[in-house]
Amino acid sequence: MVREISYAEALNEALREEMEQDDRVIVFGEDVGVFGGVYKVTKGLLEKFGPERVRDTPISEAAIVGAAIGAALAGLRPVAEIMYMDFITIAMDQLVTHAAKIRFMSGGQVCLPMVIRTQYSLGRVHGCQHSQFLASWFLNVPGLKVVLPGTPKDAKGLLKSAIRGNDPVLFVESGVLYSWKGPVPEDEYLITIGQADIKRKGSDLTIVAFSRTVREALAAADRLSAEGIDAEVVDLMTLNPLDVKTLVGSVKKTNRLLVADDSTKTGGISAEIISRIVEEAFDYLDAPPVRVNSPDLPVPFAQPLENQYLVNADKICEAARRMVH
């Protein structure tokens, strides 16, 4: 059976199902218990599983990630929440220097089954200190998986896989997607981490997207189709590990690459993706790859300015037309 539920409800189901199946799964973070999470992703978990497994924490991101590391080392499977991705900067030492390194430093003897959930609020008028999309920073952290679901179905399947895995996962959600509804199977399913998904097949160009930009890329592809441009949309879903095989296969078919990326342009995720394609499929390109990014600026607070800042379907269509014509 498939029904339509929201991105936030899909995440809630993933947490509830994994907690039901494995009593080592615990949840903690700011306001995740009594309040059910600022975005209601953890709604009802405290009532069902009790305060031993669902805990509110003080406002201390370093302590939250540090506690997750300790819990995982003690045999639990913690899912910790950092309310805004901006605040993960405070926990970088715990996440980057310690969590990502423990398997390597122990010679593979110690694994760290922990998930850090966070969200970025780009598109929600939350200002420059609550809207940053910082995922590209973590491409440079060996040992840390980085997952960014773009649909309710993917959000549930990927979170369940992340919880069952034995390595640390940074699970980045898009705040603007929490209320977006989509089809989600009722039956048990998992989605493999590290495998991209071709959301729409096409032949004229490849549009690579992830998280919030998946929706924009699909909308752009529909508009382009009406103009006679057949775009293929590849949803990466995971940034680390990166599914280079699927990317290369798509570009070999369409011969053009456009990346829709919420990162700021300099040092963004799009730069890494284009580098991989140039290394492995340069001879198949009929046009220079194009990236549609956020500008190299802090996110504006005023809504009209934030609307101009955002990667959207209009900008993707404009870039695609330039590539094809």
For 249-266, give the DSSP string. HHHHHHS-EEEEEEEEST
In the chain, the amino acid numbered 59 is I
Tokens of 94: 């715990």
Residue 1 pLDDT > 90? no
Distance between CA atoms of 108 and 102, rounded to whole angstroms?
Answer: 8
How many Å separate Cα 51 from the centre of its chain? Answer: 28
Structure confidence by residue, pLDDT tens digits, 161-188: 999 999 999 999 999 999 999 999 999 9
Structure confidence by residue, pLDDT tens digits, 85-123: 999 999 999 999 999 999 999 999 999 999 999 999 999
State pTM to two decimals.
Answer: 0.97
| Cα distances (Å, whole numbers) of residue 96 to 44, 55, 86, 92, 305 | 31, 24, 15, 6, 33
298 phi and psi angles, rounded to 5 deg: -60, 150
């009929």: which residue's tokens?
286
Structure confidence by residue, pLDDT tens digits, 233-271: 999 999 999 999 999 999 999 999 999 999 999 999 999
- Which region holds residue 228: left if phi is over 0, alpha if psi is between -120 and 50, else beta? left
Of 243, 263, 237, which is closest to residue 136 (Cα–Cα)? Answer: 263
Specify the pLDDT at position 63.
97
Tokens of 77: 């499977």
Residue 138 pLDDT > 90? yes
Pairing state of beta strands 77-82 and 290-294?
unpaired
Distance between CA atoms of 111 and 73, rounded to whole angstroms?
Answer: 8
Residue 325 pLDDT > 90? no
CB 265 within 8 A of CB 291: yes
**Strand, helix or coil at 57?**
coil
- Of the candidates 98, 126, 130, 325, the residue annotated as catalytic is 130
Burial class (CB in 10 A: 0-12, 13-18, 19+), 226: exposed
In angstroms and rounded to an integer, the radius of gyration of the C-alpha atoms of the chain is 19
In the chain, the amino acid numbered 1 is M
Specify the pLDDT at position 258.
98
Specify the pLDDT at position 111.
95
Structure confidence by residue, pLDDT tens digits, 205-225: 999 999 999 999 999 999 999
Specify the pLDDT at position 22.
98
Distance between CA atoms of 323 and 325, rounded to whole angstroms?
Answer: 6
Q: Which long-range contacts (CB under 8 A, 24 or more apart) does 40-46 make?
A: 40/8, 40/12, 40/178, 41/8, 41/11, 41/12, 41/15, 41/81, 41/117, 41/173, 41/178, 42/12, 42/15, 42/81, 43/12, 44/12, 44/16, 45/12, 45/15, 45/16, 45/19
Structure confidence by residue, pLDDT tens digits, 284-296: 999 999 999 999 9
Is 325 considered catalytic here?
Answer: no
